Amino acid sequence: MASLNMVQTIARTLDEEMTRDERVVIMGEDVGKRGGVFLATENLFDKYGPDRVIDSPLSEAAIIGAAVGMAVHGLRPVAEIQFADYVYPGFDQLVSQAAKLRYRSGAQFSAPMVVRMPTGGGVKGGHHHSQNPETHFVHTPGLKVVYPSTPYDSKGLLKTAIRDEDPVVFMEPKRLYRAFKEEVPEEDYTIPLGEAVIRREGSDLVMISYGGTMTETLKAADALKEQGISAEVIDLRSLLPWDEQRVLESVARKGRVVLISEAPRTANFISEVAATISEEILDTLEAPPMRVTGFDTPYPYAQDREYLPGVNRILKAVQQVIDY
């Protein structure tokens, strides 16, 4: 076991997968000698050389477009977008080409590729370095979308994503890159996509989150415990597919649910989870599903902590579902 933070885990996982499978190549802006803006590809250029760790031009359309071509021709590219906010110039390549390749070819071709992107706020990055665009990709048939919150999960999910036969968007909460360390096994392991995990057991209500807001959600659960309220915490980990069965079973037993995501409120992915709960198990609920999200505004320059769903906002929502 090694004690690693998230970005160290990602770097090691990429190294392991490149050693395991020579078809795995990395490309993106500054991923070579620099090791990426967050050092997620540190030392890989020296080890594998410029043919497998490729510094790209400053063009997301070129990065994703080249990755599609590589994937079709037998490679397994891992493309890095420096910040999720910059993915939009390559959006068409990803959602119109990579995502639809298997369908439009009648399953003759696929695009086994991963697009990694540091995502979310909390680092005082302003509105061009803090966005959460996951809903765009979850809304796109043919893509898979992953959003881990721990170093352990990052390794298992990234390995699964790289080995998948279809394109995977791998979103990394950058404010958790170096937030904490945990024990990560050195041996090989994978985590299936679409399998949520229970971070806290509880009996009074369920709190559901993913990515960067898991930290605040767990802090809220600890604060509730001091008040004598037992909250179960579910980390979705994977958004497309997502673990509908586990969520419905858990919420049906407790009857109350609070859903937390830092993306803007309207059409937030967590709203899809709330809608599914309402459609499938309405008669088991003691209160309507309550959402705690970002706001329907551009991400602010200075007030990012006010924008993000903090512990106090989560606790207020919990009180509302308890008092309903």
Reading the chain (324 residues) residue by residue, the pLDDT tens digits are 899 999 999 999 999 999 999 999 999 999 999 999 999 999 999 999 999 999 999 999 999 999 999 999 999 999 999 999 999 999 999 999 999 999 999 999 999 999 999 999 888 888 889 899 999 999 999 999 999 999 999 999 999 999 999 999 999 999 999 999 999 999 999 999 999 999 999 999 999 999 999 999 999 999 999 999 999 999 999 999 999 999 999 999 999 999 999 999 999 999 999 999 999 999 999 999 999 999 999 999 888 888 999 999 999 999 999 999
Same domain membership, residue 127 and residue 50: yes
d(CA 277, CA 305): 29
Same domain membership, residue 158 and residue 208: no
Within-domain flag for 189: no
The pLDDT of residue 174: 95
Please confirm, yes or no, whether 73 is among the known catalytic residues.
Answer: no
Same domain membership, residue 215 and residue 158: no
Domain that holds residue 44: 2-184
Within-domain flag for 192: no
Q: How many domains does the chain have?
A: 2
Question: Residue 64 in contact with residue 79, Cβ under 8 Å?
Answer: yes
Domain final residue pick, 157, 184, 211: 184
Q: Where are the extended beta strands (E) located within the chain?
A: 2-4, 24-28, 53-55, 76-80, 114-119, 144-146, 168-173, 182-184, 197-200, 205-209, 231-235, 238-240, 257-260, 290-292
Q: What is the DSSP letter of 22?
A: T
Query: Radius of gyration over alpha carbons of the chain, in Å?
Result: 19
The pLDDT of residue 312: 96
Domain final residue pick, 128, 162, 184: 184
Domain final residue pick, 151, 184, 217: 184
d(CA 143, CA 165): 11
d(CA 257, CA 222): 16
Catalytic entry in 127, 128, 129, 136: 129
Same domain membership, residue 156 and residue 9: yes
The pLDDT of residue 272: 97
Half-sphere exposure for 311 (CA within 13 Å, toward CB): 9
Same domain membership, residue 168 and residue 208: no
CATH number of residue 240's parent domain:
3.40.50.920
Q: Of 249, 236, 262, give the one whose Cα is nearest residue 314.
A: 262
d(CA 25, CA 66): 11
The pLDDT of residue 210: 98
Same domain membership, residue 168 and residue 65: yes
**CB-based burial label for 180 (10 Å; 0-12, 13-18, 19+):** exposed
Within-domain flag for 237: yes
SS3 79: strand
- Tokens representing 48 are 């594998």
Same domain membership, residue 145 and residue 169: yes
CATH number of residue 144's parent domain:
3.40.50.970
Within-domain flag for 58: yes
**pTM: predicted TM-score of the whole model, two decimal places:** 0.96
Same domain membership, residue 179 and residue 201: no
Same domain membership, residue 284 and residue 166: no
- Tokens representing 298 are 């551009």
